[in-house]
Amino acid sequence: MYLIGLTGGIASGKSVVAKRLAEHGAVHVDADALAREVVEPGTEGLAAIERAFGPQVIAPDGSLDRPALGAIIFPDPEKRALLNSITHPAVWKRAKQLFDEAAAADPHAVVVYDVPLLAEASADRPMRFDLIVVVHANRDARIKRMIELRGMTREEATHRLNSQASDTERLAIADVVIDSNGTLEETLHQADELWEMAAASAVSAQPD
């Protein structure tokens, strides 16, 4: 198995790159999807969040009220860290199960772990990646995308950016940087080149 950690700040274009790699044949493991899975009703994750943040973050149907939780954590680094201490280990445990399944099905699989908070959650992942890829766009471009494509206000977009690792912190862990400031075609071309390199490395690697 050849394991890629794919990260990038909000509105960086990371999902575009992940989708392209999956189209080529990579096994896509989406940390955001796992983060929703580990806090579904009845999970220990959701119970822990309710204990930490109170019943106001639980919707009437028993699910997590994400807007209510977001309003608490995004402006407050300490509360955000508390939430991360609950969710990150659970997400990583589930991700590792999916990595193992992919490796068992194909020892030469290219697995892409698509994770926004790779820089922030390094302490929660005992396993090393074969390659860390950062999708990068400048701050102004990302704010513009969040306003135009996601309907956020500038204040909301800025809060989201400030709640994540800085570009400097994220780029510091990169083995490969995909520059997504340009056109979609330019970003996809870089993703195609990444796939060719990763697929070749996966074939030549010794099975785990």
DSSP string for residues in 94-129: HHHHHHHHHHHH-TT-EEEEE-TTTTTTGGG--SPP
- Among residues 198, 81, 33, 192, which one has the least CA distance to residue 129? 198
In whole angstroms, give the CA distance from residue 9 to residue 150. Answer: 15
Residues with Cβ within 8 Å of residue 149, at least 6 apart in sequence: 11
Tokens representing residue 145 in the block: 């995308």
What integer pLDDT is reported at residue 120 of this predicted model?
67
What domains does the chain contain, in order, with CATH numbers?
2-204 (3.40.50.300)
Give me the tens of pLDDT residue by residue for the chain, a chain 208 residues long. Answer: 999 999 998 899 999 999 999 999 999 999 999 999 999 999 999 999 999 999 999 999 999 999 999 999 988 989 999 998 999 889 989 999 999 999 999 999 999 999 987 876 665 555 689 999 999 999 899 999 999 988 999 988 888 888 777 888 889 889 999 999 999 999 999 999 999 999 999 988 755 5
Task: Quote the pLDDT of residue 88.
Answer: 87
pTM exceeding the 0.85 threshold for the entire prediction: no
Quick count: other Cβ atoms within 10 Å of Cβ 163?
18
CA angle 201, 135, 81 (to 5 degrees): 110
Partners of residue 25 on adjacent β-strands: none
- Res 135: pLDDT: 96
Quote the CA–CA distance of 24 and 111 in Å, as a whole number. Answer: 11
| Bridge partner residues of 27 (DSSP) | 111
The pLDDT value given to residue 207: 55
3-state secondary structure of 66: helix
pLDDT at 127 (0 to 100): 63
Radius of gyration of the chain (CA): 18
Crossing angle of helices 66-73 and 77-105, in 10° steps, is 120
Rounded CA gap, 141 and 111, in Å? Answer: 29
Element housing 44 (H / E) = helix 44-53
Q: Report the Cα 5 to chain-centroid distance in Å.
A: 9
SS3 of 43, please?
A: coil
